[in-house]
Amino acid sequence: MGRDSRAPSEREPSANLDDPAAHFDEPALDEPAPDEPALDEPALRAYEVVKRYGATIALDRVSLDVARGSCVALVGESGSGKTTLLRCFNAMVRPDAGFVDVGGRPVSSFDPVALRRAIGYVQQEGGLLPHWSVLRNVALVPWLRGEEDAEEQARAALDRVGLPPARFGDRWPRDLSGGQRQRVAIARALAGSPEIILLDEPFGALDAITRSELRRSFHNLRAGMGVTSLLVTHDLHEAVELADEIAVMKGGALMQVGRPEELLSTPADGYVEELLKRAGIG
């Protein structure tokens, strides 16, 4: 199937038929509902969110707002709950208590499949479908939405991340370098022109040079498109470079949220101070 170079929408004309979600009136985020909240409503909001896995508390009454168009970095050691919090926003994790809103509406009020198609997502390993061409991977979300121009959207997205579709579109993911694969993953997350993008250690598996290169191009992209971004990272330098605000997590709890300079000037406690110091920022 993957060898087929035609547009995904042409290949799967019946995609909508076997897709129950396609029959729903998808609550797309850019279509204002009648009770559309005020514009200063945060794009993402978590309030007193609790998540337990057995006896382990992954999220301990976490509250966080991400303003429209801004980029917030979730930092902390592994196991601190960053990824769990991130996945609450695209309904991949269902909280045990508290509220999670997207665009001013509770996540639980969305059809989860439709919500996920409206939010970009990048994970550390890229998660490209190995049996799909680069172009088909990037066209995934528009194709799932049944959009006619899925392939054009994918080409445009590839261009934006610096991978000319004519050269890279027909390749298999395994034929790309690690950095190129992450670029494709970012292109895939952006292809549906989402208002929100969630990134889980997107540059974590790359070497230092590729990483800073990719970081810079992501920064420009994000600024250009005005996408609201929530970024999980364990690298404070990355957080400082990319994020408007940094949220420090430890043991499932949110220790401090603030602009990088606020964190530096008034660290909330010893842990934040220590974290900054260890990163050589303090």
Partner 1 sequence: MRRVGLLIVVVVGVAWAAPPRPPSEPAVTLAREALPALDTATPDAATGQPTSPARQPGPAPQDDRPPVIIASKPFAESYVLAEIFAQLLEAGGIAVDRRFGLGATEIAFGALRAGAIDIYPEYTGTALAAILGEEMQADAEAVYRHVAGTFRERWDARWLAPLGFENTYAIAVRRETAEELGLTTLSDLAREAGGLRAGFTPDFIGRSDGLPGLRAAYGFEAAEVLPLLQAVKYEALVESGVDVIDGYSTDGLIARYDLVVLEDDRGFFPPYEAAGLVNGDFWGRRPDAIAALSELSGLLDEERVREWNRRAESDGDPVAEIARDALAELGLVVADGGETGESDPAESAVARESGRNSAAAAGSAPTAESARSPVVGFASYMWQNRTDILGHARRHIVLVIISLAAAALLAIPAGLMLVRVAGGAEGVIRAIGLVQTIPSLALLAFMIPALGIGVVPAVFALFLYSLFPILRNTYTGVRDANPAAVDAARALGMTPAQLLRHVRLPLAAPVIMAGLRTAAVINVGTATIAAFIGAGGLGDPIVAGLALSDTRMILSGAIPAAALALLVDGALGLAEKRVAPGGVAVE
Q: Binding partner 1 by CB under 8 A: which of 121, 168, 203, 218?
A: 121
Instruction: Work out whether 282 is an interface residue with partner 1 (CB under 8 A).
Output: no
Task: Provide the strand spans (E) within the chain.
Answer: 44-53, 56-66, 71-75, 97-102, 105-106, 119-122, 196-200, 228-232, 245-250, 253-258
- Closest by Cα among 106, 83, 79, 80 to 93: 83
The contact pattern for partner 1, residues 40-79, with x = CB under 8 A and - = no contact, is ----------------------------------------
User: Judged by CB under 8 A, does residue 247 bind partner 1?
Assistant: no
Q: Does 89 help bind partner 1 (rule: CB under 8 A)? A: no
Member of 74, 144, 227, 275 binding partner 1 (CB under 8 A)? 144
Q: Toward partner 1, which CB reaches closer, 119 or 263?
A: 119
* Least distance in angstroms from the C-beta of 125 to partner 1: 4
CA 110 vs CA 34, 101, 103, 116: distances in Å: 16, 10, 11, 10
* Angle, helices 178-190/150-160, rounded to nearest 10 degrees: 130
Name the minimum Å distance from CB 131 to partner 1.
Answer: 3
* Binding segment toward partner 1, per CB under 8 A, in 13-21, 94-102, 151-159, 254-262: 13-21
CA distance 79 to 120: 23
Question: What φ, ψ does residue 143 adopt, rounded to 5°?
Answer: -65, -45
Contact between 19 and partner 1 per CB under 8 A: yes
- Cα–Cα distance for residue pair 157/54, rounded to 1 Å: 41
Q: Is 103 in the site for partner 1 (CB under 8 A)?
A: no
Q: Which one-letter DSSP state was computed for residue 11?
A: H
Under the binding rule (CB under 8 A), the answer on residue 260 touching partner 1 is no
Choices 44-52, 113-121, 211-219, 221-229 (CB under 8 A): range interacting with partner 1: 113-121
Interface map 180-219 toward partner 1 (x if CB under 8 A): -----x--xx------------------------------
Amino acid in position 187: A
CA 74 vs CA 34, 98, 112, 265: distances in Å: 33, 19, 23, 19
221/257 with CB nearer partner 1:
221
* Residue 95 φ/ψ region, left for φ over 0, alpha for ψ in the -120 to 50 degree band, beta for the rest: beta
Residue from 50, 67, 113, 156 that binds partner 1 (CB under 8 A)? 113
Residues that bind partner 1 (CB under 8 A): 1-3, 18-21, 87, 90, 92, 113-118, 121, 123, 125-133, 140-141, 144-145, 172-174, 185, 188-189
